Amino acid sequence: MPTSKSTHDLYTTPVEPSIRTVPMSGDTRFTWEYDDGRDTLLALYQKGKDRQWDAATRIDWDLEVDPHNVLGVPDQSLAIYGTPYWDRMSDTDRAELRRHAASWQFSQFMHGEQGAMLTAARIVEAVPDLDSKFYSATQTMDEARHVEIFSRFLHEKIGLVYPINTNLEGLLHETLGDSRWDMPYLGMQVLIEGLALAAFGVMRDVTTMPLPKQILTYVMQDEARHVAFGRLALRDYYKELSAPEMKEREEFVIQGCHLMRDRIRSKEIWTNFGIPAAEVEELVNNSPYMRMFQALLFSRIVPCVKDIGLWSPRIRETFEEMGVLDASRADLDALMRGDEELADRLDAERLDAQRFAAEEAARKAEVDAVIEAEAAR
């Protein structure tokens, strides 16, 4: 994985220590039942094996990226657009703000994917059934590939990295530190991956730049399987839990959703540009784009929470208060199929373009050969 310099040199603020230790509890579970397991999970495991790919070759890293216009989206997407803070900025400052906004977003993707890699490995050792261990092993590889991709993109194309957001870090600690085997599923597969998948989708659909679109489209193809895995594993297990146990999971979801909502306010960006932290929440709340973005970000979490059975009045009230309850009517299976089909379509389009370019080069070579032959007479 090529990098230009140490990540420490690219961070917007110093990150110490360079290795963070998260205490974990819970059991490692071996199983001596090597039977076939559940057909749906084994089919997902087979798909996980079939869909492995190499980020170094599938993605066209030679595509240019303007670090001050990474996604090619309108400035209205920035929460301070149209405010006095925006009006006082020079063109240079606005360009740098766009760079910081893209860096923050892709940095959180990178940190979240490392958390997903560790959580998938945690699921391999903690989950009791072999079919889940099989699939989660493939997910661990997927997440390693995603960390590689986002790290390379930040190093080579943006040249700036943000530390992990404290809300994301807090939820990762809660997820990894819980001794109950289902909590890594709930925290990572449903909440963190669900939010990331929706964020990837919004950015994939709005960006006009080919390299970010490739990256997000291909990563989403993997993530669609990961969310499906969490749903399959938890849907059956939660039918067996008592009411107090279900309430504990529901409270975890509520707390996690609040952390995820606060995470997307990206306070670190605005404080780096001299905007008081106390004003950031109001600016974000008053931004039409950010309100829409927040609603879209929960489009994968809400129907998934409903699907696995955590659908108490308290949960529904929380989603209503956040303005995202309508997402419960989304067809999650259709969304996931779309994510996978878009990646296949992009592959086909790129292959067609390569074939066309090769044919054009061959035709040009033939014409040039005829011209040279005529000239030699």
Which of the residue ranges 188-197, 318-327, 337-346 would you say has the lowest mean pLDDT?
188-197
More confident residue, 258 or 22: 258
Task: Indicate if the pLDDT at residue 52 is higher than 90.
Answer: yes
Task: Tell me the whole-structure pTM to 2 decimals.
Answer: 0.85
SS (H, E, C) 146-162: HHHHHHHHHHHHHCCEC
Task: Indicate if the pLDDT at residue 191 is higher than 70.
Answer: yes
Confidence of residue 346 (pLDDT cuts 50, 70, 90): very high
More confident residue, 4 or 163: 163
Angle between helices 313-322 and 243-263 (to 10 degrees): 10
The per-residue pLDDT for 170 is: 86
The per-residue pLDDT for 22 is: 65
3-state DSSP assignment of residue 161 = strand
Confidence of residue 147 (pLDDT cuts 50, 70, 90): very high
The per-residue pLDDT for 23 is: 65
- CB–CB of 301/189 below 8 Å? no
| Total residue count of the chain as it appears in this document | 377
* pLDDT more than 90, % of the chain: 43
The per-residue pLDDT for 231 is: 87
Confidence of residue 205 (pLDDT cuts 50, 70, 90): very high
Q: Is the dihedral of CA 218, 167, 176, 151 positive or negative?
A: positive
- CB–CB of 42/131 below 8 Å? yes
* pLDDT more than 70, % of the chain: 93
Task: Indicate if the pLDDT at residue 337 is higher than 60.
Answer: yes
Please name the residues in contact with 28: beta carbons below 8 A apart, sequence gap of 6 or more. 125, 126
What DSSP state is assigned to residue 63? Answer: S
In CATH, what number does 7-16+38-338 get? 1.10.620.20
Domain boundaries, the chain: 7-16+38-338
The per-residue pLDDT for 20 is: 65
Task: Indicate if the pLDDT at residue 264 is higher than 60.
Answer: yes
Q: Is the dihedral of CA 298, 300, 306, 308 positive or negative?
A: negative
Average pLDDT, the chain: 87
The per-residue pLDDT for 261 is: 78
